[in-house]
Amino acid sequence: MPEIFLDNLKKSYGSVEVLHGIDLEMEHAEFTVLVGPSGCGKSTTLRMIAGLETVSSGEIYIDNKPVSKLEPKERDLAMVFQDYALYPHMNVEKNMSFALRLEKRPKKEIKRKVQEVAEIVGLSEYLHRKPAELSGGQRQRVAMGRALTRDSSTFLFDEPLSNLDAKLRTQMRAELAMMRQRVRKNMIYVTHDQIEAMTLADRIVVMHGGYIQQQGTPEQLFKKPANKFVAGFLGTPPMNFMPASLQRSGDDVYLSGKGFDLLCDGFTLDRLSQARSDHILLGVRPCDLDYQPDAATNAALDIDVVLSEYIGAQSVLIGDCGGQKIMVELKSDTPIALGERLRFSVDLKDLHFFNPEDDRAIG
């Protein structure tokens, strides 16, 4: 049975509809990540689940109970906010125990619970400090701790790491992943950072323009993106897109575009048989292009090197293929020079095909 279920959830501000019918099922104790660019509706969706935004139409079910008319506190959830949303006038202990104190739990129990959670989030020494006396990372931990003391069945995270600097973010991401091992609860996590989404999620839900674009495991989404948006959104550097058309020459069929003619095999032709026309959009990830100077012309792209970005073991090459920008991942010790023309072989089964009219994936 799904633990949380969104049924045709819509949100309008005045006459402007920003969420156009979100259907989503989340299993028990699943870590679901809503990911998408700014303004895609992911935070709104989360805030509707939390009860901080009203539901315009549709329904939210938690444990088969419709909750869209209930107050946040009646939904049995805890939330971590982007700006932490700590109570500035309370010390760490008071912040973490606020909900328990409102419930009038016994003092001993509250104290025990706070100490237990402070241990988990590494704040035991800071219980008597106020939020203003903590660093960004520590405040983040308090926010997490406050959510953990609640013992709610569901945790909501609204871009919890985006206010941290890059190094701390990576560290907190790992800690979050570890905490997740210990705490088996429903978790819904909103982020615009696809790396956070990929590393943390059991299930990724990619949103764009108020619609769900695709949902599935990180691997499913990475390997079989349902449309051009998902394909371009997940993965760094992003997927390259090139217009191409099917050209027949005798018995052979070529996938041709500016600067390339790829000979299609039976498997590829089978995939492409679902295309509506001979014109398609070809997608290839930067990591799927293989530097091979002696590859056959009909199985490779020739790329002029425009720029090389050194990141360490890998470099990202920005090149030009028949007048189009294309990015390639390359081992940094590969001897190349700017302006040089390099040949990269392509494995046909690594290619992604999209219908240029509606950007949907083919095959």
Partner 1 sequence: MSTSTSFNRLTPYVFLAPAVIIMALALLYPLGYMMYGSFREWDPSQAMGESTFVGLKNYITLWNDPNFRESTLVTLKFAVSVVTVEMFIGVGLALMLDRNLRGMSLLRTLFILPMMIAPVVVGLIWRYMYHPTLGIFNRGLKGVGLESVDWLGQHALLSVIIADIWQWTPFIFILALAALQSLPRSALEASRIDGATGWQQIIHIKLPLMMPVLIVTCLLRLIDAFKVLEVILVMTEGGPGLSTEILALRISRTATEFRELGVAAAMSNYLLMLLLFITVLMLIYNRIMEHRAAKANRMIEEAH
Kindly list the residues in this chain that would bind partner 1 in the complex (CB under 8 A).
50-52, 71-73, 77-79, 81-89, 98-99, 102-103, 129-130, 132-135, 138, 146, 150
Minimal distance, residue 98 CB to partner 1, in Å: 5
Residue 87 vs 267, nearer CB to partner 1: 87
Rounded Cα distance between 172 and 174, Å, is: 5
Residue 51 vs 225, nearer CB to partner 1: 51
- Using only C-alpha atoms, the chain has a radius of gyration, in whole angstroms, of 25
Rounded Cα distance between 216 and 260, Å, is: 33
In three-state secondary structure terms, 321 is: strand
Residue 141 vs 192, nearer CB to partner 1: 141
Minimal distance, residue 181 CB to partner 1, in Å: 24
Residue 158 vs 329, nearer CB to partner 1: 158
Minimal distance, residue 74 CB to partner 1, in Å: 9
Rounded Cα distance between 163 and 327, Å, is: 29
Minimal distance, residue 44 CB to partner 1, in Å: 14
Written as six digits, the tokens of 122 are 């590494």
Pairing of strands 57-62, 31-35: unpaired
Minimal distance, residue 167 CB to partner 1, in Å: 12
Residue 88 vs 312, nearer CB to partner 1: 88
DSSP string covering 183-212: --SEEEEEES-HHHHHHH-SEEEEEETTEE
Residue 126 vs 260, nearer CB to partner 1: 126
Q: Which helix (H) or strand (E) holds 329?
A: strand 324-331
Rounded Cα distance between 186 and 237, Å, is: 31
Token look-up 């520590």 returns 138
Residue 150 vs 228, nearer CB to partner 1: 150
Exposure string of 27-55, with b = 16+ CB inside 10 Å and e = fewer, is eeebbbbbbbeeebbbbbbbbbbbbebeb
Minimal distance, residue 171 CB to partner 1, in Å: 14
Minimal distance, residue 51 CB to partner 1, in Å: 8
